[in-house]
Amino acid sequence: MTLILTRREVARLLELDECIAAVEGAFRAHGEGRTAAPAVLGFAARDGSFHIKAAALESGARYFAAKINGNFFHNGERFGLPRIQGVIALCDADTGSPLALLDSIEITILRTGAATGVAATYLARPDSRVATICGCGAQGRIQLRSLARVLPLRTVHAWDVAPEMAGRFAGEMAAELGLAVTPATELESAVATSDVVVTCTPARRFFLQREWVAPGTFVAAVGADSADKQEIDPALLAANPVIVDLLEQCAAIGDLHHALAAGVMTPDDVRAELGQVVAGRRPGRMRPEEIVIFDSTGTALQDVAAAAVVYEKAVRAGVGLAVELGA
C-alpha cells in the first residue's frame, strides 16, 4: 500500500527539532561516505522552472526519494498559488515499492531551514547573538526559527525589498520567539553589526557586498538554487572559507557557481562539504574571526531524511490515505 499525505498532514507530522536532527544525520551519513551522491535535474518552463532531486538514505529502513518541485515566482499575484509546490515520492530502496506520495511544500520549507540550523551549529560562533534575515517570506521565518534553536540570539534585523513584509515579519517573529526583531531600512548597517546573516531571496543579482560583512560572521546563502539566482558577492566567497552542502551541485547552481564563472575561485578553494564537517572529516570554522560562508542549494538527502520521518510517524498514527497503486 502507498500512503497519500497532504500538506496539512505533513505539517502536522513534521516538527522542526526532529527535522533538524534528521537532516544532521543525513549530512553525517554522506560525510562518512555511507550514501550515494544525490542527483538533481533542472527543467526550464515558461515563467518558471521545475527541478527534480533524488537521493537514497538508510535511516533504520532504506529509503529512496525523488522530489519534483515547480518554482513559479509570479504564482501568488497571478493565481493565488504558492510560488513553490510539488510532490515527493518515497520508496523502499531495497524493493522499489512506492511507500508514500507526499506534498512537498512543508518538507521543502522545514528541511531548508533545518540545514541552516545544522550549519550554524558547526560554523557560527557559539556566542552569536545578532542576526540579519534577508528575505521575509515563509523561508525567512523558518530560517530564524532554526537559528533560534541552536544559537543564543537576542537581536534580529529583518530586511526585504518589500518593506511591508519586513515590518510584518518583525512583529510576528518578535511575538513568537521573544526576540528583539526590527525592520532594517539600511541593509549595510544591519549586516555590519550581525554575527549571522541569512540570505533567502529569489534575487538574480548579488546584493550582499563583501565590504559589509564583519570578521567572525557566519553567512548562510540559501536562495540560489538555480543557475540564474545569485545573492552573494563573488569577491566575498573568494576571500573567505566556503562550506557547501554538495560541491558538485553548488558549482552548478549555487552562489559558488557565479564565483567559479567569474574566475575568482576554483572548486579546490572550497574548504569542505557540510557533511564532512558534521562527520569530523574536514574543519569548519577554524578561528573566531573568520567569515564562514555556507552555500546551501538544498539537497535530496534533506528531502529523503524528512520524508522518512513523516512516513514513519504517519504509519504509527494511522494518518494518510492508503491506496494500492498497482491494483
Residues 286 and 309 in one domain: no
User: In terms of domains, do 88 and 123 share one?
Assistant: no
Which DSSP string corresponds to 84-110?
EEEEEEEEETTT--EEEEEESHHHHHH
Query: Which phi and psi (to 5°) does residue 285 adopt?
Result: -75, 130
| Bridge partner residues of 155 (DSSP) | 130, 180
User: Does residue 122 share a domain with residue 168?
Assistant: yes
Which three three-digit cell numbers place residue 303?
528531502
pLDDT at residue number 44: 87
CATH number at residue 208: 3.40.50.720
Distance in angstroms (rounded) separating the CA atoms of residues 10 and 64: 18
| Sheet of strand 196-199, all strands in order from the earlier edge strand to the far edge | 180-183, 155-159, 130-134, 196-199, 218-221, 292-295, 242-244, 272-273
Per-residue pLDDT reduced to its tens digit, 257-280:
999 999 999 999 999 999 999 999
Residues 191 and 230 in one domain: yes
The domain spanning residue 54 has which CATH number?
Answer: 3.30.1780.10
pLDDT tens digit string along 76-100? 778 888 888 999 999 999 999 999 9
Residues of the chain with pLDDT under 50: none
DSSP 279: T
Same domain, yes or no: 306 and 289 = no
Query: How much is the pTM?
Result: 0.95
Do 52 and 120 sit in the same domain of this protein?
no
Indicate if 55 and 121 belong to the same structural domain.
no
Q: What is the pLDDT of residue 17?
A: 97
Q: Is 143 left (phi over 0), alpha (psi -120 to 50) or beta?
A: alpha
Which residues are tagged catalytic? Answer: 67
The predicted-structure confidence for 94-121, as pLDDT tens digits, reads as follows 999 999 999 999 999 999 999 999 999 9
How many whole angstroms separate alpha carbon 83 and alpha carbon 162?
16
182 shares a domain with 45:
no
If asked whether residues 98 and 133 sit together in one domain, one would say: no
- Name 62's Cβ contacts closer than 8 Å, sequence gap at least 6: 56, 92, 93, 94
State how many domains the chain has: 2
- Whole-Å CA distances, 252 to 18, 84, 241, 267, 311: 30, 20, 19, 11, 31
Question: Are 222 and 137 members of one domain?
Answer: yes
Which domain does 44 fall in, by range? 2-108+301-323
- pLDDT value of residue 47: 86
Residues 213 and 168 in one domain: yes
Instruction: Let me know whether 12 and 160 are in one domain.
Output: no
